[in-house]
Amino acid sequence: MVETGPSADWARKQVDLGRVPVAVLGIASSQGIEDVVAFGTDDGRQATVEDHFALFSVTKPITALTVMRQVERGTLSLGESLGAAVPGFGAGRTDTVTLEQLLSHRSGIADPALDAGTPLREALTSAGQAFYAGSLVQYCNIAFEGAAAMAEWADGRTFEDQLLSLAGDTGAGSLTFDAACNPHTVHGTGTAGLDVQAMYRNRHPGAGLFGTAADLLNLGSELLRDSGKAVRPATLAAMRRPRTTEVSHITTRPAPLRHTGLGFQLPANESELLAKGIYGHPGWSGTEWWMFPEQDRCVVFLTNVLDAPDVGVDTNQLFNAVAAS
């Protein structure tokens, strides 16, 4: 195992400077996993490369890949209305919320708290309207419950069964919504007012997955190969196409601005980066999963601190280290 190099040095530095207690850094190519290293100790627990972490919003592109399998099979369309799959949704709304809008944060659904005790499908059905669908961009977790509901409506299997099928097909077999996998404790939840155990119980398709570096690296390697085991090449190309470049954003975190495809995020200011065409997703818990098609690289960074950028974790530094290595 190689424990030196720009990317590994960057991950080690985040632990050494006390920004995060533990970190796992992994690199893969289209040929498979190249390197995984672990650093740090948290309350006596030594980080290892096999550890599960709470992925938070890294869940979103995995959910989107799962749902898009139904689109490429012809059982769903991106223009399909959420109201068709969830008849109680949108009472009083005069607009139509589509699957494309759900996956690109343009649904206009008012987002309930991640740790709310209301069952997700009920929370989706009763959610208010923040704006007319398609007119603005606002990050929305509950929209991915809507996308999951549409996948169930189209296929008949539970959404979790569909996602685990994707995971099994792509070497990501330890992805799970089950907190019994012994993930690392997430720090900062008290300050943020998040009841993380309540969030875990929701098994949220926008934020609830747990996974290992190998899970994300294997899935990322499959996306780089673009062989169709995850989704077909045309489907992946559509998911990487930005859907929010000409639409105003409502955001409480203006930097770094990222545009959204279908489930995937795309850096908006590529002038700060050595690589072009990067796509992937960050998680609130400090997790990162990104593909670099031009460099044939996937990078995974797993840690366990909410709002890691606020304590100095600069992922643009990581992106440039990956691109140059």
Which pairs from 37-45 meet CB under 8 Å and 24+ separation?
Answer: 37/1, 37/2, 37/3, 37/8, 37/11, 37/12, 39/11, 39/12, 39/15, 40/15, 42/184, 42/185, 42/304, 43/185, 45/184
The answer to the question of residue 289 being in a domain is yes
Domain count, the chain: 1
Are the C-beta atoms of residues 144 and 63 closer than 8 Å to each other? yes
DSSP state string for 50-92: T--EE-GGGHHHHHHHHHHHHHHTTS--TT-BHHHHSTTTTTT
Write out pLDDT tens, residues 81-123: 999 999 999 888 999 999 999 999 999 999 999 999 899 999 9
Are the C-beta atoms of residues 297 and 28 closer than 8 Å to each other? yes
The answer to the question of residue 154 being in a domain is yes
Write out pLDDT tens, residues 17-30: 999 999 999 999 99
High-pLDDT (> 90) share of the chain, %: 93
Per-residue model confidence (pLDDT) at position 268: 84
The answer to the question of residue 158 being in a domain is yes
- 322: how many CB neighbours lie within 10 A of its CB? 25
- 320: how many CB neighbours lie within 10 A of its CB? 18
The answer to the question of residue 304 being in a domain is no
- Of 30, 27, 36, the C-alpha closest to 322 is 27
The answer to the question of residue 30 being in a domain is no
- More confident call, 311 vs 4: 311
What mean pLDDT, rounded, does the chain reach?
95
Per-residue model confidence (pLDDT) at position 254: 63
pLDDT band at 128 (very low <50, low <70, confident <90, very high): very high
Per-residue pLDDT, averaged over 227-239, amounts to 97
The answer to the question of residue 22 being in a domain is no
**C-alpha 172: how far from chain center:** 14
Write out pLDDT tens, residues 303-321: 999 999 999 999 999 999 9
- Among 3-7, 72-76, 146-150, 302-306, the range scoring the smallest mean pLDDT is 3-7
The answer to the question of residue 25 being in a domain is no
CATH code at position 256 = 3.40.710.10
Q: What type of residue is 304?
A: N
pTM of the model: 0.97
Side-chain half-sphere exposure of 225, counting CA atoms within 13 A: 17
The answer to the question of residue 135 being in a domain is yes
Check whether 261 has a pLDDT greater than 90: yes
* Dihedral-angle region of residue 274 (phi above 0 means left; psi in -120 to 50 means alpha; beta otherwise): alpha
Check whether 16 has a pLDDT greater than 50: yes
Instruction: Give the domain extent around 93.
Output: 53-178+191-295
Per-residue model confidence (pLDDT) at position 5: 86
pLDDT band at 36 (very low <50, low <70, confident <90, very high): very high
